[in-house]
Amino acid sequence: MSDDEENYDDFMMSDDDGMVEMEDDDEDEENIAGSGSQNGESGNDISDSSEINRQSLEDLYEMGVYYGEEQDWIKAQTTLRKLVDISEGDTDEDAVHWRHKSLLQILHHWALRMHYNDLPQLDEVIPACKELVRQFGIQNDDKIWSEIYTTPRGFLFDDEFEPLALPRIELQLKCMEPLLIDETMQLRHNVLSIWQNRLKSNRIDESRINFLESHCFNNDDGKELDTLHVEIVNLILQCYIHEFMSTGKINSMAKFSQFLVKVESHANRSLAVSQTLGIMMQLPLAQAIEQVLQKSPDTKRLQQLFWSSLRQVEEIGGPQKFSSRLEEFILCGFIFCSMIMYRENGKVNPFDLEQVKVGREMEIVQILQDCYYNFVQLKLSQLGISINKLPIGVLTLLDVLVKEIYQVAQITKLWESVAPLFSCISLRDLQKELQVSQIPVTRDHILTILMTSIMKDRAAVYYKLDLKRDLVYFGNENKVPLSLCAKQSLTLGELERSNDIGMWHSTRKIKHKDTNAFFQDLQKQRVGEYEGGSFQPRSSQDSLIHELALQAARVWSS
């Protein structure tokens, strides 16, 4: 008896923890297992019904736990059930305590069985659920609910799922039916229903997403989100990613962007959010998707976003195979950005990075490597060929980047290898030089490249067009004065007009982050002396006058 008492005390001490954290941590488990086997020895006579009433509830509980450990679900179930039945109506503190624990344990076993893909009968668990809720209510922080209403492993946007995922969800949803009066249960119900729709018909119910989204953030008072909410944020992110991966677009772009802003601000102040593995990968991924869809020109940021998701993918998935569509997407996105950024920041070869290196045997990595080197060496037609070897799905999703790569390659080739070599080239030849894919480069496209190079500050060599004979002349010798009048000699009105038209434009870029400085700079340009190509400093003016006099003399004598 004294033995028992000691045991009991032991239990009561560890129980305080046990109540809060139902998940067995290791220490607890050992305790239970140890005492369980003890009880197993002394409890040969459980089947003896006359003894049952004397059996302490505690022993029954431990026995149930023990059977659970042994995965003898039926015995575990009957034992724990027995405990609940015996203590039914008993308001004694101990009785209530053990009753609560064993109800939780029944659910826990049920969850475990589902986890091992041994889909149990509902009639075992529904009564337990009902009873638990009736007697003890639904405590939101009860981990048991997360445990039995757990979502399938993997992500909503994965290509493949465990075979029993759908039947399990259906079971879970049925089991939830009696509990739907509770608000958090409704949230969970929506989460699982979204999964169910996805698995059943590959559709995502937008109204459910809206419901979750509004619930998640409607009391956005900056408090730490609880586990369920983190899970919901996670799921919504997955839904958006799934939508993009399967359709190439996102219908409610504005909502998506707003959502990302919220998630980011939560991630910034909440460890629970930022440290959730799924979110760590999905947030940068979703932001990358946002940027791709918005066709934002900030490739540097995009590269970083793809890079962080690539690193997270590795952390989640272990050794890289780059076999799923998502992994392909992230990898290609990262490499494409690296290509576009090559000339600004090409010191790091992305194929030297550990995360990419691990997959160097994979076909997709090898193709990407070809793309990269053809791009670096400005072999345009080979670049087109190697890019087209990539999976078409990914190319469609990253269409914006592919176009950008082609354009950057064309512009670079034009200014690095064509313009310095030729003093004059026909547009037709230029079209051939800059052809990337099978689609021929049009004359207008060449002109666009030439002109946008000015707008984007990429024209490295001065050029002039002869649009009558379709020629381009390269070189500074083509720099000629466009006007005869001097800026200083204009009236105010003329000066205003000529400034607006751009007669005195400078080719200098104005890289200011702040508006006032930008306009001040422009203002200075407008009123200041013309600083165009031929502006002569005072010191050389004498020689210039001399030269002009000579020119004048020539005109004279003619």
Partner 1 sequence: MMFQGFEGAILVERVNHFICKEYGSEQERKKWAEDIIKYLCDIGCVNTPHWNKLLDIGDFETLPEVSPCESLILQKTIAHEYAEAVALLETNDIAIATHCRNLEAITEILILDRNFRELEEIEYQITGINFSRQESLGEQEANALRRIKLLLCASLYLRGKYFDCSNCFFKLLTNDHKMMDFLSQEAPKKFLTNSEVLMMVQISTLLAIPLDNYEDFTHIEELVPFQKVCPSLYHCLRLLINTSFGKFFQLWHGDINEQCDQSFFLDQNWGAAQCMMREKIYFFYLRVSNYIEISYLSRILGIEESLVKKEVENLINSMHLSFEIQGDTVRYKRSFFLENVVSQLQLNEKSILSKLESQRLRNREMRDLLQSMIIGNDENNRSIAGDALLRSDRRELSREDSEMMDVDEINDVSDMDNQSVEIGN
CB of 552 to partner 1, least distance (A): 4
CB of 495 to partner 1, least distance (A): 11
214 vs 489, beta carbon nearer partner 1: 489
Which residues in the 414-453 window bind partner 1 by CB under 8 A?
444, 447-448, 450-452
Q: Under the criterion CB under 8 A, does residue 498 sit at the interface with partner 1? A: yes
Which residues in the 218-247 window bind partner 1 by CB under 8 A?
none
Q: Which residue in the block uniquely carries the two structure tokens 């099978």?
A: 438
Binding mask 351-390 for partner 1 (x = CB under 8 A): ----------------------------------------
CB of 540 to partner 1, least distance (A): 10
Q: Under the criterion CB under 8 A, does residue 100 sit at the interface with partner 1? A: no
Residue 324: CB partners within 8 Å, gap ≥ 6? 158, 159
CB of 538 to partner 1, least distance (A): 10
316 vs 552, beta carbon nearer partner 1: 552
CB of 524 to partner 1, least distance (A): 12
Question: Cβ atoms within 10 A of the Cβ of 462, count?
Answer: 15
373 vs 462, beta carbon nearer partner 1: 462
- Total residues contacting partner 1 by CB under 8 A comes to 75
Distance spanning both ends of the chain, measured CA to CA: 133
Reduce the DSSP state of residue 467 to 3 states and report it: coil
74 vs 455, beta carbon nearer partner 1: 455
363 vs 496, beta carbon nearer partner 1: 496
Query: How large is the greatest C-alpha to C-alpha distance in the chain, in angstroms?
Result: 138
The full length of the chain comes to 558
Q: Under the criterion CB under 8 A, does residue 37 sit at the interface with partner 1? A: no
Please tell me the distance from the alpha carbon of residue 17 to that of residue 152, in angstroms, as a whole number: 28
CB of 142 to partner 1, least distance (A): 44
- Contact pick of 180, 261, 439, 545 for partner 1 (by CB under 8 A): 545
Q: What is the 3-state secondary structure (H, E, C) of 117-160?
A: CCCCCCCCCHHHHHHHHHHHCCCCCCHHHHHHCCCCCCCCCCCC
134 vs 468, beta carbon nearer partner 1: 468
Q: Which residue in the block uniquely carries the two structure tokens 């001097």?
A: 486
Tokens (6 digits) for 175: 């089991």
Please tell me the distance from the alpha carbon of residue 519 to that of residue 195, in angstroms, as a whole number: 53
CB of 13 to partner 1, least distance (A): 58
Tokens (6 digits) for 291: 């940027």
Task: Pick the piece of the chain touching partner 1 (CB under 8 A) from 50-58, 189-197, 304-312, 487-495.
Answer: 487-495
CB of 475 to partner 1, least distance (A): 12
Tokens (6 digits) for 64: 């149930």
Q: Under the criterion CB under 8 A, does residue 101 sit at the interface with partner 1? A: no
392 vs 555, beta carbon nearer partner 1: 555
Binding mask 502-531 for partner 1 (x = CB under 8 A): xxxxxx-xxxxxxxx-xx--xx-xx--xx-
> What is the distance, to the nearest Å, from the Cα of residue 3 to the centroid of all Cα atoms in its chain?
57
Q: Under the criterion CB under 8 A, does residue 456 sit at the interface with partner 1? A: yes
29 vs 264, beta carbon nearer partner 1: 264
Please tell me the distance from the alpha carbon of residue 205 to that of residue 131, in angstroms, as a whole number: 32
| Residue whose C-alpha is closest to residue 484's, from 465, 501, 503, 497 | 503
438 vs 557, beta carbon nearer partner 1: 557
CB of 290 to partner 1, least distance (A): 15
Task: Pick the piece of the chain touching partner 1 (CB under 8 A) from 7-15, 315-323, 346-354, 454-462.
Answer: 454-462
Q: Under the criterion CB under 8 A, does residue 265 sit at the interface with partner 1? A: no
CB of 475 closer than 8 Å to CB of 448? no
Reduce the DSSP state of residue 474 to 3 states and report it: strand
The residues facing 463 across adjacent strands are 474
CB of 132 closer than 8 Å to CB of 107? yes
Q: What is the 3-state secondary structure (H, E, C) of 398-459?
A: CHHHHHHHHHHHHHHHHHHHHCCCCCEEEHHHHHHHCCCCCCCCCHHHHHHHHHHHHHCCCC
- Contact pick of 459, 474, 477, 539 for partner 1 (by CB under 8 A): 459
CB of 148 to partner 1, least distance (A): 45
Please tell me the distance from the alpha carbon of residue 485 to that of residue 481, in angstroms, as a whole number: 10
Please tell me the distance from the alpha carbon of residue 165 to that of residue 162, in angstroms, as a whole number: 5
Q: Under the criterion CB under 8 A, does residue 488 sit at the interface with partner 1? A: yes
Which residues in the 466-485 window bind partner 1 by CB under 8 A?
466-469, 473, 478-485
Q: Under the criterion CB under 8 A, does residue 532 sit at the interface with partner 1? A: yes
Which residues in the 318-357 window bind partner 1 by CB under 8 A?
none
